[in-house]
Amino acid sequence: MAPELYEQRTPVSNRKPTNERNTNKRPRVNVSPPNQHQDELHQRMESEPPMMTHQTNMSKISFPPIIIKFNVEQNFSVKEITDDLILKWKNHHGINLAITARFGHLHSLLVFADDSSTFESLLDLSRWPQTLNEVEIQVKVPRQLPSEYSLVIQQFHRNWNEDEWLPELQQRYVSLYKITRLRVKDGSSLNAVRADFKSIEEVKTLIRSGKINVGSMIHPIKPYHLPIRINKCLKCLRYDHTTKSCSRPRLCPKCAEEHTLEHGCPNQERSVNCGGDHISGHSACAVVQEKRRALVDLSKRQRAELLVLADRQQHQFGYQEREFPVISKDMPIHLSSSVQSQQMNVSQRTYAQVIQKQQLDHGQQKNIEYTLSSFLNKMERRLDEFSSRLSSQLCEIEKKINESSNRQGEIESLINEIILPSIQDIGHILSQSSTNRTSQESFKKFNEKIKGLLSNRRSNLNHYYHQSTVNHIDIPNSNVAHQ
């Protein structure tokens, strides 16, 4: 039986009675004539300056559901529950919700937002009512928001603590709620963090500007994109199709066999793709690694093609063949015979054809230049990242060297100021109390050695302080001489 799906946009009191059947299709809102829509879109694209774009401009955002759990068993339909939710939201907050809902696991209600304003309004748990249709509810918001609500802050030093910077950034950016350090596969931290917001408009504003204020510093930012993920069929656990189009029986995710899952799975782990002794979809699977490599190569090619296309569009001349008439043969020509013959051949073609032929002749060379330019830019970015990483590592090494030198100085001070004088006093007492002349001479020599060590220590300290004082006096004198 298909899950019940219902979409609600307006309160019950504002809807008009109709005899039409309810469908799962989403109604069109604010429909305008197609020509008018194209004109408005064209004018808006021309009026906006070129700037950084985000993934939200290219496709519709897939919002995760808000889960509503009922404390007691209820028999209301999805329509009745959503009608009550929309009516209460409108009365208490003055906001019209655009939602789609259906029942999920254990008869909990999954509420899907159709736009960002509705989604951001539903994220605030303080706005939710205590009951729906006189039944107490518990609301669970998603832990991770869509990637469009995040951005990457670059040049965020590895030694900085994200938890310490979060309260200060929240004073300037109200919707910011989380900062996460980005890491590579081996677990080492990167010189960048992911900032998660609850307002997509604030993310768009920051990405348009291309920068963010961190304390008194300005850091570059870029859009955040999810890591490359491999789509897997959740029924047969294979990768060559989607779950919706799968006609095979459902397999056990552990042993890849067809059996009931009511009492667990006592079998050994096995992959349906490679036959290995691991679950299907494990990162060690050879098929998964091959798919991931193919997706990485595809993303690299697409990124290079986009860079080439963007660069070509800046130098491409847009022309229409019908706008340029054929060059007339009756025009008076006062040129040499060779030039006249060449002009006669060219005059048979339109201006658009001449330009098109020139672009085709130089197309391959331009493509090579654009590709090399894109790769050079990528290499420069990699070198910048490497230099910043190297400088941070050198700073950490210098910090550790300073810490070790300070610790060594403390140990030397402890030995010279406490341990050696104590040993010297003990030796002096033992030499006086001893009746053996040989022992007295040994203690006396030992005390003389300790006394020499302490005197050398004091002379070294005096020389160091004297040299520091001389250097401190010479620096202002040199500055005065230069002035």
| DSSP annotation of 250 | P
* CA–CA separation, 159 and 14 (whole Å): 57
pLDDT above 70 for 349: no
Regarding the domain delimited by 5-17+26-140, which CATH topology (the fold level of the hierarchy) does it fall under?
Answer: Alpha-Beta Plaits (3.30.70)
More confident residue, 247 or 36: 247
Give residue 419's pLDDT band: very low, low, confident or very high (50, 70, 90). confident
Give residue 129's pLDDT band: very low, low, confident or very high (50, 70, 90). very high
Q: Which residue is associated with the tokens 């959503």?
A: 82
Where are the chain's structural domains?
A: 5-17+26-140, 147-223, 379-482
Give residue 313's pLDDT band: very low, low, confident or very high (50, 70, 90). low
Q: Highest mean pLDDT: which of 144-148, 279-283, 452-456, 471-475?
A: 144-148
CA angle, residues 463, 466, 472, in degrees to nearest 5 = 140
Same fold, 5-17+26-140 and 147-223: yes
Span of 23-32, 291-300, 413-422 with lowest mean pLDDT: 23-32
Give residue 113's pLDDT band: very low, low, confident or very high (50, 70, 90). very high
pLDDT of residue 289: 86
Span of 47-56, 256-265, 348-357 with lowest mean pLDDT: 47-56
Q: In the chain, pLDDT over 90 holds for what percent of residues?
A: 29
Give the SS3 label for residue 176.
strand
Regarding the domain delimited by 147-223, which CATH topology (the fold level of the hierarchy) does it fall under?
Answer: Alpha-Beta Plaits (3.30.70)
Mean pLDDT of 70-85: 92
pLDDT of residue 21: 39
Q: What is the mean pLDDT of the chain?
A: 76
Among candidate residues 128, 68, 123, the one with its CA nearest the CA of residue 93: 128
Mean pLDDT of 146-166: 92
Mean pLDDT of 307-320: 64
Give residue 481's pLDDT band: very low, low, confident or very high (50, 70, 90). very low
Which phi and psi (to 5°) does residue 322 adopt? Answer: -75, -15
Q: pLDDT (tens digit, 9 = 90+) per residue, 24-38?
A: 444 443 334 444 444
Query: What count of other Cβ atoms lies within 10 Å of the Cβ of residue 189?
Result: 13
pLDDT of residue 284: 82
Mean pLDDT of 324-336: 51
Q: Which residue is associated with the tokens 């002035």?
A: 483
More confident residue, 24 or 393: 393
Query: How far does CA 72 lie from the centroid of its chain?
Result: 41
pLDDT above 60 for 401: yes
pLDDT of residue 250: 87
* CA–CA separation, 298 and 95 (whole Å): 43
Report the first-to-last Cα separation within the chain, whole angstroms: 90
pLDDT of residue 357: 67
More confident residue, 339 or 229: 229
pLDDT of residue 38: 41
Give residue 473's pLDDT band: very low, low, confident or very high (50, 70, 90). low
Which residues is 70 bridged to in the sheet? 137
Span of 89-103, 193-207, 257-271 with lowest mean pLDDT: 257-271
Which phi and psi (to 5°) does residue 189 adopt? Answer: -80, 150
pLDDT of residue 41: 38
pLDDT of residue 54: 40
Rama region for 25: left / alpha / beta (φ>0; ψ in -120 to 50; rest): beta
Mean pLDDT of 432-438: 74
pLDDT above 50 for 9: no
More confident residue, 407 or 11: 407
